[in-house]
Chains A and B, each alone.
Chain A
Amino acid sequence: MTFMKMTRRVVLAAAAVSMTFATPSFAADEAVESIHFLIPGGAGGGWDGTARGTGEALTKAGLVGTASYENMSGGGGGKAIGYLIENAASNHGTLMVNSTPIVIRSLTGVFPQNFRDLTLVAGTIGDYAAVVVGKDSPINSMTDLIAAYKADPSGTAIGGGSVPGGMDHLVAAMAMEAAGEDPTAFKYIPYDAGGKAMAALLSGEIAALSTGFSEAVDLANAGEVKIIGVTADERVAAYEDAPTMKEQGIDTTFVNWRGFFAAPGLPEEQLIAYQTALTKMYDTPEWEEVRARNGWVNIHNNGDDFRAFLENQEQVIGDLMKKLGFL
């Protein structure tokens, strides 16, 4: 379900650039005068960092004149989505940041809208998911973990940092299902913070932990955990030692994306201007600095690719959540 098609991205970018040929090519450097970023959560969260980091790179690289930011928390992001739709006509200069939870939360009905009610701009960055075990654990691979689970289903619990039915749970369930086990039978134990889940892993309360790949790499580099499965198609350069799920015979891939949405009814030329600015951003040193500082992975999906990606993700997650009894 990962869409990282370089060729398509290049073609699209080229197409977008060619549309601005009418204007002098230097003026295209600052095709967008200003962007107002709408952040559906409080200051300091993942959405906040994504919007501010992207804004920083865009303005410093001269792709966008000025950037402003607005935090609007409430309803797990639903408040900001509702605001953007209700005030669509006056918000053509606004980009809202969001991520995988917009798909999950509209499925569970946390808010009534879904991504189809918005204009899809682009998915810009992402993170794979990973399963880790403690550094002293006898488990060394997904195969070991499945074997341990088969031997003692009740004593082999998998923990994660999200609520049941949230991302970490779904990833663990996907892996279990792909390994031929019943995804509803294993014990998923939720923790509200990474630190607590780590303490639980080291105290032996849980056998394995489902978490984000970049977080797992930090822990593995600190010598605290072993990564036994990544949900990428191929091994990731950031940590070559971590085997993928696929190479262990577990056909599971998953990307937790982050991207930008605009108000419904956004004029076509404005949408293209935003997409062009974001596409160009990847080649700038300013973006590279922001990306490296935050440990983000470039996973770029523009417009229609983004829609196809989201529809596929909605399908897979929806089916799984139905199976798990969350829908």
Chain B
Amino acid sequence: MLEGILIGLSTAFSITNILMVVGGCLIGTFIGMLPGLGPMSIIAIMIPVAISIGDPSAALILLAGVYYGAIFGGSTSSILINAPGVASTVATSFDGYPLARQGKAGKALTVAAISSFAGGSIGAVLLMIFAPALASVALLFHSAEYFALMVVGLSAIAAFAGTGQVIKALLMTILGVIMATVGEGALFNMPRFTMGLMDLQSGFGFITLAMAMFALPEALYLVLDPSRSKTEGGTNEIKDLRITKAEAKAITPVIGRQSIQGFLIGVLPGAGATIASFLGYAVERNIAPKEEQEQFGKGSVKGLAAPESANNAACTGSFVPLLTLGIPGSGTTAILLGALIALNVSPGPRLMIDQPEIFWAVIISMYLGNVILLILNLPLIPYIAKILAVPRNFLIPFILFFTLMGAYIGQNNSTELLILVGFGICATVLRFADYPLAPLLIGFILGRMLEDNFSRSMQLYDGISFIYERPMTLGLLVLAVILVVLPSYRARRARARAEGVADGD
């Protein structure tokens, strides 16, 4: 491990990679601050840039920098104008915006910056400890276990979808799996479902699909629903970034708890930073003393520190399943996985052995990224916050330009543009109908691997006997069933309790 850390250090501290971290964090912070642009859209836009770099470690470092930069930037707009740029900073606005309205915007930004820094750094340490342990177990995995793992990954989406969203999330997942079957499959050397179109022979392009699901609807949504991105003026005067000793003492245990909890939630497939931040907020409110509990929602520093440390730790945590098992835990890591595959890197247990420089450089760059974000966010925040004044008239063409360019550059194929616009419009309609789009992309990415591993296992075992012959496969599949059944069981119980039938606890 020490050797790996040294390789990582030497890779991460090359001039190019430091530039990548700084550039990624800057871009992420700036764009993440803009209302309506989440990390997924930003990363989708940045992928063609990253791929054109060619060096996988530099590309992944850039994208990771953009990722946590976006989460960081999202918290700034949550606090200052109550318009979270990303879903995972919605909880930040609960206490951050009240603080800003009380004229304590500077203090709120400092608390957010420190909590994010601590959450991200603790997350990076935990990643360093967890990932190798998980990877060594994963080396025992055969195709059968990978198949079961993909099933778990797909079911987990249902488990962590919002209330009433389980069916919609599952539908979108299945749609994604279906879309993954277009093109030449693993089983046959012949094209499937291409409708005779030569451009579909190698399947839908992942970048095109990612752009169509996130970046394009984002822009269309801004046009069609102007109220959503309205910036309500607000008094954005930021003075006095200092926090008192008492406040520092109050948030320290919160940061500690939420960094670890956030990381663990981030590791779970399907959860991610948004769940981690809400859960972090809820847990801290429940364990706080009565008088402090009432402060939550009215400008409590604890209520601000909790989601901020949790969401940053969760971002780091979501890299564990991505780097060690090759399964994405969230929409964002799904996009990162697609980018890695496009760069000829296959994440999985072999990554640490075959390409240790990529693995460790990413982890080291996370520390570096957190330091840079702290520097960026503390003294520069009053100036950076000016970007919030960018009118939508400039923002929308900017998003459209980068989306269309990005889809075209990689392949030089104009058909990609037609596919992009077609799916982009479908995705916008789905978004208005409140269908989550991330499950579709996860289904699309996992679908191909699901089929490949399933067909391999079928061949190796001359049938489906691998399901009961391999205990680990069986265990994982049982877990998948529990993940699907549990939310609906809990929903029914909650309904029953609301009717006053069960009040056992």
Contacts from A to B (Cβ < 8 Å):
42-44, 70-76, 78-79, 82, 108, 110-111, 154, 157, 163-166, 187, 189-196, 198-200, 202-205, 326
Contacts and interface: CB of A to CB of B under 8 A. Distances in A.
B412 interface: yes
B52 A165 contact: no
Contacts of A204: 142
A163 B459 CA distance: 14
A75 B198 contact: yes
A163 B348 contact: no
Contact of B186 (A79, A111, A190, A326): A190
A111 B198 CA distance: 8
Nearest to A187: B459
Interface of B: 51-52, 54, 139-143, 184-191, 198-199, 201-202, 341-346, 348-351, 354, 410-413, 415, 448, 452, 456, 459-460, 462
A199 B350 contact: yes
Nearest to B141: A203
A71 B504 CA distance: 66
Contacts of B354: 195, 198
A165 B191 CA distance: 13
Given A187-B460, A195-B350, A205 B143 contact: yes
Given A163-B186, A199-B139, A73 B412 contact: yes
Contacts of A164: 187-189
The B interface is mostly helix, strand or loop, or mixed, namely: loop
Contacts of A72: 412-413
A75 B199 contact: yes
Contacts of A111: 198
6 contacts: A74-B415, A75-B199, A157-B460, A163-B185, A191-B456, A196-B346
A23 B481 CA distance: 78
Ordered nearest first, which 10 A-B pairs have the shortest CB separation?
Answer: A75-B198, A165-B189, A195-B346, A193-B346, A71-B412, A205-B142, A75-B201, A195-B350, A199-B350, A73-B411
Given A43-B410, A73-B413, 13 more contacts: A43-B52, A44-B343, A71-B412, A75-B199, A78-B198, A79-B198, A163-B189, A189-B143, A189-B459, A194-B346, A195-B345, A195-B348, A204-B142
A72 B412 CA distance: 6
A203 B186 contact: no
Contacts of B411: 42, 71, 73-74
A170 B51 CA distance: 32
A192 B452 contact: yes
B456 A73 contact: no
B142 A78 contact: no
Contact of B202 (A73, A154, A193, A194): A73
Nearest to B184: A163
Contacts of B452: 190-192
Contacts of A196: 346, 348, 350
Contact of A199 (B188, B349, B412, B460): B349
Given A189-B456, A192-B452, A196-B346, A163 B198 contact: no
B381 to A, nearest CB: 38
Nearest to A321: B189
Contacts of B51: 43-44
A74, A82, A165, A191 — which one has the most chain B CB atoms within 10 A of its CB? A74
Contact of A110 (B140, B199, B201, B462): B201
A157 B456 CA distance: 11
Given A43-B51, A43-B410, A70-B412, A166 B142 contact: no
Contacts of A194: 346
A52 to B, nearest CB: 11
B189 A74 contact: no
Given A205-B142, A326-B189, A42 B410 contact: yes
Contacts of B185: 163
B26 to A, nearest CB: 26
A154 B462 contact: yes
Contact of B139 (A43, A154, A203): A203
Contacts of A75: 198-199, 201-202
A204 B460 CA distance: 12
A198 B188 CA distance: 22
B190 A108 contact: yes
B137 to A, nearest CB: 12
A228 to B, nearest CB: 21
Contacts of A82: 198
